[in-house]
Structure 1
Amino acid sequence: MSKTSSVFSTEEMLVDAFASHLARDSAPFELATLIREFDYRSGRTDVLVSDCENQILAFEAKLTDWRKAVHQAWRNTSFAERTYVVLPADVGHRVLRYRTEFERLGVGLCLVSDATIEIAIESKLSEPVLLWLHEKAKSMLATHGERLH
């Protein structure tokens, strides 16, 4: 599956579109704050948000390498209540045939077009096991997060 998305030429463009969509009233999530690139000891998450219930949601964006994104998103369950892979819609629709891999790990899938975000697979709610990292994420969102809505 090496075909590149026709809508986004870089991962940064995908993340920019995704973050822009999250800031709209029509976003599929009720979010409070957002930060980009949450760095931690074992990795870096592309987008981190808190929702209106003060839960942490982590998003891993990739143009085509969904398998790598699923692994990264699953790793984020150590500190986030919900985790998602973010793919361009044209790529993501082809990936849906592998939905059992996402569901087995509790990872959701968001499809992004130039106009919308679609939740193709809902993330499983999980209990963070690295509480110190969960608290660090909450602190970063509280002090550096962009307010949404």
Structure 2
Amino acid sequence: MLQSNEKSQNLSEKLKNLENKILETQDKKRKLREKVEKREKEIHSKVIEIWNKEALNDKAFHKDLDKILSTFKKIDTENKRYFWRTFEFDISKKETLKDSFAFFVDHERVDFQINLNGLYTDLSVAGESFRIEDIQRAKELYLNTIIETFAAQNYL
């Protein structure tokens, strides 16, 4: 009887130790995940602020897009699709972010997009990646890519 009791205590002790280790590991993972999410949220908020100021709310940039658009329509008066717009991406259930510009040159789409990936957040244009600090260069490339796409469609 004593031996059976020892086995039962030993088994109970092993199970309790296992439970404690698993709970401790889960708690460490949860804390690490929360820390990473907090850091990413801080990074994203700074980047989103720059994106909003330098792209989404930049009236001069929008004016440049409109100027290109009106020029294309003037050059090619046939019924082709020329327009631009922004697209939203859900970054959480409570918040959306207009994360990309799309300029349609006839049936071809030229994109300028922000990619939120924590420390690896970047801007992408024509297959190239830019750091958020290089947003002006990215916008220049975007405008030039739109013009080059139009020129290529018109065999120039």
Give the TM-score taking structure 1 as reference length: 0.33
Give the TM-score taking structure 2 as reference length: 0.32
The structure showing larger relative contact order (alpha-carbon pairs under 8 Å, at least 6 residues apart) is 1
Larger Rg: 2
Structure with bigger helix share is: 2
Structure with bigger strand share is: 1
